Structure 1
Amino acid sequence: MRSLVLVLILFANFAFAENLIVVVSKDNPYTDLKLDEINNIYLGKMNHWPKGQRVLAVDLPNSTKAKKLFLENVVEMTPISFEAHWGKIQSSGQAFPLQKFKTTEEVKKYLSENIYAIAYLLESDLDESFKKIKIDGEEVITPLK
């Protein structure tokens, strides 16, 4: 009986897990990126799209589920180490700063106004105001945890 309960709990957690998506403006010409490219964008190592346009990477607060999933599954850093990393590269001038927003609505507005912006959101936030891009050919990043 205990095994059945554990299986049901694990299944329930899996069934209700939220997927992470990477989104861009509807007018952005890119439709597919590698996970390494997303990682490099958010670590300040890739500042331009493949054809030379400046990447405008959007960041959400550490308290959001999307940010937690992104840090765990993409950059594989804690919030503290991610902030420390950005503090170091910003002080050295090695990368453009992340565009920080507090809400999904602010992100959507920014994406609609900036063709080369990129953001991570929960799949449940997807609507027709922006487009989801594929990561290594997949439409979502399934959480590891």
Structure 2
Amino acid sequence: MNTTTTRRAAAAALLAGTTTLGLLSATAPANASDDRVERTGQCSGSARWDLKVKTDDGGLEVEGEVDSNVNGQTWSWRIVHNGSVSARGTATTRGPSGSFSVERRITNLAGTDRVTFAASRNGQTCRGSIRF
């Protein structure tokens, strides 16, 4: 192997390592004690859902969001905690993104908590769960 080929291979390896390091630091939490868990996914139609759970003063803060990219849609939603409905209601998507979000504080039970956010509208359903 000649010197030019060796230098190019070394430079490529260095660049790949630097790029990987940059990606890792971009995805690392800003605060090492941040215990937030977040999940996102596709609804049964074109909308997307987002669910976040984190500790808050001994309880759990839950945020559920639906983004349909259409303003003025009314959705039914519910938050289920370990099999029991903790909160429910309706929300309307608003601009500029055509989304809605709900935040609730629930009790942090002993052991692992399972939190589910579900929303539905005209046959389209969104559902996400987190074990916390």
Alignment TM-score, normalising by the size of structure 1: 0.27
Greater RCO, 1 or 2 (C-alpha within 8 Å, sep 6+): 1
Higher share of residues assigned helix = 1
Higher share of residues assigned strand = 2
Alignment TM-score, normalising by the size of structure 2: 0.28
